[in-house]
Amino acid sequence: MCRASQYRHIRLLAEHADDKEFDYSTRGQWREYGTRNMRVASRLAPFTDRQIQAAQSKLDKDLKENGGFISKWGMETLEKYLD
């Protein structure tokens, strides 16, 4: 449902949730995820898909090379890699 949204930040939330493969089973858990990440997704919306993918590649590289330096990451971490 979110992937078909006309709003880019909602689509970014959906893509992130698909990438992380969350196993939330209730609406409350999904609502909490949306509430927690809505502001970050709004700040990511002006960036192009290419810029976001480049930041994701840098993040993935750091995850592999630094021996678990970053164990858990979210949209906030991805935003830091864009700056």
How many domains does the chain divide into? 1
Tokens representing 48 are 């192009």
Average pLDDT, the chain: 82
Query: 4: exposed, middle or buried (C-beta count within 10 Å: 0-12, 13-18, 19+)?
Result: exposed
When pLDDT is averaged across residues 5-19 and rounded to a whole number, the result is 81
Higher-pLDDT residue of 13, 69: 13
Instruction: For tokens 């909490």, name the residue.
Output: 32
Note the pTM of the prediction, 2 decimals. 0.74
Note the pLDDT tens digit of each residue in 38-65.
899 999 999 999 999 999 888 888 887 7
Q: In 22-55, which positions are buried (b, 16+ CB within 10 angstroms) versus exposed (e)?
A: eeeeeeeeeeebeeebeebbeebeebeeeebeeb
Q: In whole angstroms, give the CA distance from residue 7 to residue 76.
A: 19
User: What residue numbers bound the domain in which 14 lies?
Assistant: 2-82
